[in-house]
């Protein structure tokens, strides 16, 4: 009936509202490092007496699909269960732990070594995967997320991703690409990247020699990134508020560029229309206040790590690299990740 994000963070509140969620502002008492989900949910219910069932979705499980949540809601609303939680089937043989210094042997926990079967022939066991917990109000008020008439909901293994530690990230990333939920609207490939020159392609510094000639520096990795984008069929165009024609000529990038651009959004709109692209097919990398409207309109937007605050707030992706230090290459990799998602969705 309603979707809420529980947070004590201004930026998370802003993003949540942009995506259509309502926000419950957590109190400091339930916003500690040691605070539990149950504490936050109980506080929420104290402010929302109209809510009688809560579905607590864990942010660390990024492969959850809406169809699973709908089925779980039906188990409570139509079949009378008081609580439902998510599990996954695992085929792992367990042995008892022997602590260092103990004069004991390990013992099998869920197998008979004398009649050991192949794991794939064994039905396995059910484990909580932490993806979601649904419960009725009366249980939560008593301090339980699981209780009463209970049921588990078995999720498919490919959808069961739990991020706990750093090494879980690359595994989750690949799993999301293949099995994640990307919404009902089809994903679009990026076909145009527009990059601000000063502060993105370069570090924004201008060196002036004694004979008044200007020099700028750039990172070779960014040149490689532009070349890789072109090989993937993505056009790369450059834009700048100042006249840097000589610099671009020296860099020999072979990209269409617009310099002395007083209105970057107008230039971007003209390019978009001339190429017959939707905004979702346009990516933009900027770093200054003059880039904000372009960042807001582009389907994919990014800024270097050292971009100004207003540009960072408008962007969908903040690079780890500074401008002129690999940010273009990094953003190119981010675009390639989207292309993989598009291809995965098409295959499905």
pLDDT band at 98 (very low <50, low <70, confident <90, very high): very high
| 250: confidence class by pLDDT, cuts 50, 70, 90 | low
Residues labelled as active-site residues: 116
Task: Read off the pLDDT of residues 18-43 as tens digits, 9 standing for 90 and up.
Answer: 878 999 999 999 999 999 999 999 99
Decide if pLDDT at 105 tops 80.
yes
User: What is the pLDDT at residue 173?
Assistant: 80
What's the CATH code, domain 192-346? 3.40.50.1000
pLDDT at 208 over 90: no
Could you report the per-residue pLDDT of 61-82, keeping only the tens digit for each?
Answer: 999 999 999 999 999 999 999 9
Domain boundary assignment for the chain = 52-90+123-165, 192-346
Who contacts 80 (Cβ-Cβ below 8 Å, separation ≥6)? 149
Residue 8, Cβ density class (10 Å: 0-12 exposed, 13-18 middle, ≥19 buried): middle
Ordered DSSP codes for 217-265: -B-HHHHHHHHHHHHTT-EEEEE-SS--HHHHHHHT---EEE-S-S-HH
Identify the pLDDT of residue 171: 85
Please give the pLDDT value at position 196: 93
CA-to-CA dists, residue 45 to 28, 139, 173, 259, 277, angstroms? 16, 12, 34, 56, 46
Using DSSP bridges, classify how beta strands 83-90 and 192-196 pair: parallel, antiparallel or unpaired.
unpaired
Residue 2 has pLDDT above 70, yes or no: yes
In contact, 275 and 230? CB cutoff 8 Å: no
- Alpha-carbon span 193 to 182, nearest angstrom: 22
> With pLDDT > 90 as the criterion, what percentage of the chain qualifies?
63
pLDDT tens digits, one per residue of 161-178: 889 898 888 888 878 877
The predicted model gives 314-326 an average pLDDT of 89
Output the pLDDT for position 19: 79
């Amino acid at each position: 009936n309603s979707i809420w994000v529980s947070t004590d963070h201004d930026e998370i509140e802003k993003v949540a509202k942009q995506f259509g969620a309502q926000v419950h502002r957590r109190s400091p008492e339930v916003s500690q490092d040691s605070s539990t989900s149950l504490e936050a949910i109980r506080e929420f219910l104290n402010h929302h007496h109209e809510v009688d069932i809560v579905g607590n979705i864990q942010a660390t499980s990024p492969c959850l699909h809406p169809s699973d949540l709908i089925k779980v809601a039906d188990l409570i609303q139509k079949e009378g269960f008081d609580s439902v939680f998510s599990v996954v089937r695992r085929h792992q043989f367990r042995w008892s732990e022997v602590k260092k210094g103990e004069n004991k042997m390990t013992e099998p926990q869920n197998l008979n070594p004398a009649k050991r079967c192949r794991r794939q022939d064994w039905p396995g066991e059910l484990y909580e995967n932490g993806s979601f917990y649904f419960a009725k109000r009366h249980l939560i008020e008593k301090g339980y997320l699981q209780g009463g008439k209970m049921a588990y909901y078995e999720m498919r293994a490919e959808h069961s991703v739990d991020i706990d530690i750093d090494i879980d990230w690359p595994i989750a990333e690949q799993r999301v690409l293949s099995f994640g939920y990307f919404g009902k609207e089809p994903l679009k490939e990026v076909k145009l990247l527009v990059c601000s020159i000063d502060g993105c392609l370069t570090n924004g510094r201008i060196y002036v020699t004694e004979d008044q000639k200007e020099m700028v520096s750039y990172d070779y990795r960014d040149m490689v990134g532009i070349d890789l984008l072109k090989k993937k069929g993505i056009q790369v165009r450059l834009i700048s508020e100042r006249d840097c024609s000589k610099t671009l000529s020296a860099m020999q990038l072979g990209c269409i560029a617009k310099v002395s651009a007083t209105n970057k959004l107008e230039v971007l709109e003209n390019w978009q229309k001339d190429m017959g692209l939707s905004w979702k097919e346009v990516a933009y990398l900027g770093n200054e206040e003059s880039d904000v409207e372009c960042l807001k309109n582009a389907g994919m937007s990014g800024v270097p790590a050292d971009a100004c605050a207003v540009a960072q707030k408008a962007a969908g992706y903040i690079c780890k690299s500074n401008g002129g230090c690999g940010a273009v290459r990094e953003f190119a990799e981010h675009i390639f990740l989207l292309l993989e998602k598009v291809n995965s969705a098409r295959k499905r």
